[in-house]
Amino acid sequence: MATREELEQRIIEAIDLHRDLILEVAETIRQNPEIAFQEYQASALLAASIQKFGYEVEKPIGGLETAFRASRHGRADGPIVAVLAEYDALPGIGHGCGHNLIAASGLAAAIGLSAVMDEIAGIFEVIGCPAEEAGGGKIVLQQAGVFDDVDAALMVHHAGHQTGVGTRYPEGTCLAVTELTFEYFGKPAHAAADPQNGINALNAVIALFTGIDALRQHVPMETRIHGIITHGGDAPNIVPHYAAARFYVRAATLEDLGRVLEKVRRVAEGAALMTGAEVEIEQGVTCYDVRPSYVIGRRYLERMRQVGMEIRWEHTGRGMYSTDLGNISHRIPVATGSFAISPEPIPGHSQQVVEAAGSPFGQEQLLKVAKAMALTAFDLLTDPELLAQAKAEHAHWPPSG
């Protein structure tokens, strides 16, 4: 019977042995970017690569063509631990968020755990999650029951020049977000000959923007409301009978978001009342705020140091971004390892990220953080106390102290 240290060494050695395959998959996905729900090549390549290491692959899942689940069973029943892989790109930019590296980290973790699963209990899964950038693929999968039996989940994500993981509140948290579409319906008329007979839907949209600008004085500091006019009329000499706008509304927590949304809706209705137009409001996908597991995060950080990662972590508090991972984090303990892909700061969602995600530095960092994630998954599968503490923390959010 192998010792714990021997099993851990097997995980690391397996990833090292197959480094060329891992990096080839990362680079192939980077060079062939596919946007949300269209990641046919990336998901097929990733699923097929993982399957070679003894995993049972179910594809598609959750009603999404580009989603999959790869599972490897241990010698006995036990916890189910999942690594979440993302692989969608940004329109017009490509992999400006480094999701090619996230995809490859799932393969690396699968390779590492394949070397030990026959000697430990439980199930290790890689869940391929489409459409993080737009569409909320994880939310669709959750609603379809894909995460119902999962006990804990892990991810990696690039962090520019930083490496680390959140270990105390509010590190690792981010904003909840929902999309609102406003459509205003008025009455057309000749803008010069008989404007008195028209109802100007564009005026309603402008009043909506003005009202939201005023509202910003009376919402919590971390609230973000930003939008665009998607239709402003057809011609200057016609009173616009139809106008529309799209907004993202973000807040620190799901509860705060609900309160802000109610205020925004009243502004929209007031704009309709002011102008005589009618309004229809459609609410899109809601991404919850992320509730990171600090219990798992602390173990994750230990594993990062163990595999030789230089920890450079700025304690900046809540992130001013949103992700569909938040919805999963409200259901089960989740931790994300953040890793540097550039020695110097680089902007997110940029060409610099595209280039860094294929650089030798970024690739070496990927291999290291994937080892740390695989070892943390091993811990969750084999250390009942760690998983119990993570679940207890999750049940009493936010953590104290």
Scan for tokens 């999701």, then name that residue. 99
How far is the C-alpha of 326 from the C-alpha of 319, rounded, in Å?
12
**Strands of the sheet with 56-58, listed across from one edge:** 56-58, 68-73, 123-129, 80-86, 152-158, 334-339
- For 125, the 3-state DSSP assignment is strand
pLDDT given at position 209: 98
The model's pTM is: 0.95
What is the structure's pLDDT at 329? 98
HSE-up of residue 134 (Cα within 13 Å, Cβ side):
9
Domains of the chain: 4-173+290-395 (3.40.630.10), 176-287 (3.30.70.360)
pLDDT of residue 316: 77
Centre a 10 Å sphere on the Cβ of residue 115 and count the other Cβ atoms it contains: 19
Peptide bond into 345 cis (omega under 30): no
pLDDT at 401: 54
Pick out the chain residues at pLDDT < 70.
Answer: 401
CB 382 within 8 A of CB 152: no
The predicted structure's pLDDT at residue 317: 86
Q: What pLDDT is attached to residue 400?
A: 76
Phi, then psi, of 12 in degrees rounded to 5: -65, -45
Give the residue from 156, 51, 56, 113 showing the smallest Cα distance to 382: 113
pLDDT computed for residue 315 by the predictor: 78
Please give the distance of CA 246 from its chain centroid, rounded to a whole number. Answer: 21
Chain centroid to Cα 190, Å, comes to 48
- Give long-range contacts, CB 8 A cutoff, 24+ apart: 310-315: 310/163, 311/163, 311/164, 312/161, 312/162, 312/163, 312/164, 312/340, 313/162, 313/163, 313/164, 313/165, 313/338, 314/162, 315/171
The predicted pLDDT at position 1 comes to: 81
